[in-house]
Amino acid sequence: MTCFRPLALAVLWLIAVPASPGLAGTLEASVGPLKVEEMADRLHEPWGLAFLPDGGFLVTERGGALWRFEAGGSRVQVTGTPQVWAYGQGGLLDVMVPRDFATSREVFLSYAKPQEGGAGTALAVGRLNDAGDGLDDVRVLFEMTPGGARPQHFGSRIVEGPQGHLFLTIGERGHAELAQDLQRHNGTVIRLNRDGSVPQDNPFRGQAGAQPEIWSYGHRNPQGLALAPDGRLWAVEHGAMGGDELNLIEPGVNYGWPVIAYGRHYDGTKIGIGTEAEGMAQPVHFWDPSIAPSGLAIYSGALWPDWAGHAVIGSLKFDYIAVLDLADGSEEGLRSRETGRVRDVREAPDGTLWFLSVKRGGVFRIRPAGTP
Amino acid sequence: MTCFRPLALAVLWLIAVPASPGLAGTLEASVGPLKVEEMADRLHEPWGLAFLPDGGFLVTERGGALWRFEAGGSRVQVTGTPQVWAYGQGGLLDVMVPRDFATSREVFLSYAKPQEGGAGTALAVGRLNDAGDGLDDVRVLFEMTPGGARPQHFGSRIVEGPQGHLFLTIGERGHAELAQDLQRHNGTVIRLNRDGSVPQDNPFRGQAGAQPEIWSYGHRNPQGLALAPDGRLWAVEHGAMGGDELNLIEPGVNYGWPVIAYGRHYDGTKIGIGTEAEGMAQPVHFWDPSIAPSGLAIYSGALWPDWAGHAVIGSLKFDYIAVLDLADGSEEGLRSRETGRVRDVREAPDGTLWFLSVKRGGVFRIRPAGTP
């Protein structure tokens, strides 16, 4: 794998020009003029976004609430969600609507599940009732065991794999060393069957002393996970200072944290043994300075063919959306007054790009300017 | 009503002498030597405590979890609790077990209920299942409408009245002026029938422009509510600087916030028009400096006859428990290494005093030293 050293000077900063305040901003991008529209407001720490086949969408708030927005704009609270542990970075986190939702009505949620003395990253599923205001038959499919008392690094993005497996990212919960311990779920991407059971072909299944759910390990805090149109799985993770990473996720691979890293500790000291080691994968891209990446989409829509296969990543730190060309590592930055602390980025079924802003407490859509 | 100006010098500070560390401390009180024992640990921001008839007890964590502890010490998570809005002071708050629990299995919970753009103080009820690990048939009995976006002053203590009514305290949610507005639930004590309906004899029922649930108003943030053995209802509330209050709660009464108050704003400026006004009740006691009172019990047990009818109050600010003689306003302070940020105080069926410590993350019991 190649590591593209990012060229800070090469980033194109595209600043939105306020058009009709409170409604939409516009920005000039390499693909032409874009419009940023507010699709939902008055949300507190929105964390995850998922589209429904009827044109509506679901949004989680970290503090515990799940909201359903109808295509027309009205909002409904969805009750029956699991009890969460809402401290620090913990709470209700990602939401995923599977491809068969129209028939299954299933909705998947990741969250910090209360445990004795703390919480563990967990994955639950429930069926959205006919009224669309409650989840029925909620079941816990997976629970990190044990979790821990620290309120950080829950990871928590959910992706439905090409064959219907469930992938979930789990952060190392503030215990870096556990990301190298296969007996623990800390710092891993896990893979489950749709019913929560462990697939026969998981890489560590049957290996003594290893958790069978683990698909990859050595992660710090992966808060972006996305499937590319070619079926490959990508993740972004928060690294130490100067070491945020984009990784191509492959089974059984060790991504090195905290033995190797491009970042430094926040006190400036070196991490582990350096930037590379035998048996540990290199990132495809890293960010120095760190951008605090959260949310990831690999663009596959028809609206912007020039961005096909590009990684679209939210930045919690620099208030922008990075569009990264995976072919050459060049990055284009989309920034408008709406892109404050971007928590999640998703491609909608119609090819528009949607994102959640923590600062604005809203859901926004980016579309070509000029289209209705 | 009399207002006892507290004499800071008269407070007896009773400091615990560590005995067997991690197990129990002892302290000398006016009623003799006391033992402080840890009944549960590893809790994050415990908020409410309620006893079950089998010797067990329930504890809420503000972040969203409800735990059941068995008499033998083991703990079980109780699922099925309502979705909460866990920001700032909001989250899962009080828990109340009614007198008919053995037959009804009902458990009442107060919490910050997510609403569009924020949350409102709410009261829900559910039935504890036979396994004691889940609530069934959870129903919302009351929801403050509208709530608000500010994450403070939810109030939220629940008391079962002498005739089975439900009393709930509601803070003014950071909007002081609304505590004088009978059209709003901010800054009130409300009274409901057991099923959530409004009692016929509520003081403002039928009054145009008034919320019928209101029992008393003009409160700031009442976080302690208790029934005395004589059937009278008492509340403690967080005032402004130097104005925490103990009030005898009577129907239709206006307790004056923010028109009259003994406290000052935190910038030192005067509040409202002074300390008294026609048509507004005086507190029975106020604390200057403020102690940040949370949790209240009116002692009625047989263990300490000298404390009969005394108000027992937790202090979040000075890390002690106040035992207040309502006859003369004198205060005795109970302080041990366990009394860090006391969030709730309850009298157990056997007359021991129990409390929750935020700093220690635990449940503690005070009993006479020397008893087994």
How confident is the model over B126-141, as pLDDT tens digits? 999 999 999 999 999 9
Whether the ipTM is more than 0.90: the answer is no
Question: What does the pLDDT average to over B347-352?
Answer: 97
Percentage of chain B exceeding pLDDT 90: 88
Interface test with B, best of A116, A137, A363 (most B CBs within 10 A): A116
Per mean pLDDT, which range of A261-265, B17-21, B54-58 is the poorest? Answer: B17-21
Q: Please answer whether residues A297 and A226 qualify as being in contact, where contact means their C-beta atoms are separated by less than 8 angstroms.
A: yes
Per mean pLDDT, which range of A2-16, B27-41, B87-101, B291-305 is the poorest? Answer: A2-16
Question: For A84, which of B64, B75, B118 is closest by C-beta distance?
Answer: B64
B75 touches chain A (CB under 8 A): yes
- pTM score, two decimals? 0.90
Predicted confidence band of residue B21 (pLDDT cuts 50, 70, 90)? very low
- Cis before B33 (ω within 30): no
Percentage of chain B exceeding pLDDT 70: 93
From chain B, the residues in CB contact with A150 under 8 A are none
| b/e map A188-216, b = 16+ CB within 10 Å | bbbbbebebebbeebbbeeeeebbbbbbb
> Quick one: which of B79, B90, B44, B235 has its CA closest to A124?
B79
Q: Do B85 and A116 touch (CB under 8 A)?
A: no
All domains in chain A, ordered by first residue: 21-368 (2.120.10.30)
Mean pLDDT of chain A: 93
> Please, which residues 90-119 of chain B have a Cβ atom closer than 8 Å to chain A?
90-91, 114-118
- Calpha distance A20→A25 (Å, rounded): 7
* Pairing between β-strand B331-335 and β-strand B12-15 as defined by DSSP bridges: parallel
Tell me the nearest-neighbour CA distance from A22 into chain B, angstroms: 16
Kindly list the catalytic residues of A: 153
**Does the pLDDT at position B11 exceed 60?**
no
Residue A56 to residues A367, B66, B115, B143, Cα–Cα distance (Å):
17, 33, 19, 27
Q: Please answer whether residues A63 and B90 qualify as being in contact, where contact means their C-beta atoms are separated by less than 8 angstroms.
A: yes
Q: Do A83 and B81 touch (CB under 8 A)?
A: yes
Tell me the nearest-neighbour CA distance from B110 into chain A, angstroms: 15
A187 touches chain B (CB under 8 A): no
Instruction: Give the tokens for residue A220.
Output: 């710090």
**Does the pLDDT at position A267 exceed 90?**
no
Single-letter residue type at B314: G
> Please, which residues 3-42 of chain B have a Cβ atom closer than 8 Å to chain A?
41-42
Residue B212 to residues A122, A278, B108, B184, Cα–Cα distance (Å):
42, 72, 21, 10
**Does the pLDDT at position B354 exceed 70?**
yes
**Does the pLDDT at position B1 exceed 60?**
no
pLDDT at B101: 98
pLDDT at B12: 55
pLDDT at A25: 83
| pLDDT tens, position by position, B170-182 | 999 999 999 999 9
Q: Do B114 and A64 touch (CB under 8 A)?
A: yes
pLDDT at B339: 96
**Does the pLDDT at position B5 exceed 50?**
no
**Does the pLDDT at position B60 exceed 60?**
yes
pLDDT at A3: 42
pLDDT at B266: 84
- Selected catalytic residue, list B153, B165, B185, B310: B153
A359 touches chain B (CB under 8 A): no
Beta bridge partner(s), residue A189: A169, A216
For B305, counting Cβ atoms within 10 Å of its Cβ (0-12 exposed, 13-18 middle, 19+ buried), the class is exposed
| pLDDT tens, position by position, A200-249 | 999 999 999 999 999 999 999 999 999 999 999 999 999 999 999 999 99
| pLDDT tens, position by position, A12-67 | 555 554 333 345 688 989 999 999 999 999 999 999 999 999 999 999 999 999 99
- Calpha distance B284→B289 (Å, rounded): 16
Residue B326: φ, ψ to 5°: -70, -15
pLDDT at B78: 98
Instruction: Give the tokens for residue B94.
Output: 């009080």
Residue the block writes with tokens 């002026």? B177
Q: Do B87 and A44 touch (CB under 8 A)?
A: yes
**Does the pLDDT at position B37 exceed 90?**
yes
Question: What does the pLDDT average to over A283-299?
Answer: 96
> What sign has the CA pseudo-torsion B64, B70, B73, B74?
negative
pLDDT at A1: 35
Predicted confidence band of residue B15 (pLDDT cuts 50, 70, 90)? low
Question: For A86, which of B77, B91, B116 is closest by C-beta distance?
Answer: B91
Predicted confidence band of residue B2 (pLDDT cuts 50, 70, 90)? very low
Q: Please answer whether residues A200 and A134 qualify as being in contact, where contact means their C-beta atoms are separated by less than 8 angstroms.
A: no
**Does the pLDDT at position A10 exceed 70?**
no
Mean pLDDT of chain B: 93
Per mean pLDDT, which range of A23-37, A189-203, B332-346 is the poorest? Answer: A23-37
A51 touches chain B (CB under 8 A): no
**Does the pLDDT at position A142 exceed 60?**
yes
> Quick one: which of B123, B128, B111, B109 has its CA closest to B52?
B128
**Does the pLDDT at position B325 exceed 90?**
yes
User: How many CB pairs (< 8 A) connect A and B?
Assistant: 82
B243: CB partners within 8 A, 6+ apart: B261, B262, B263, B264, B271, B286, B287, B288, B290
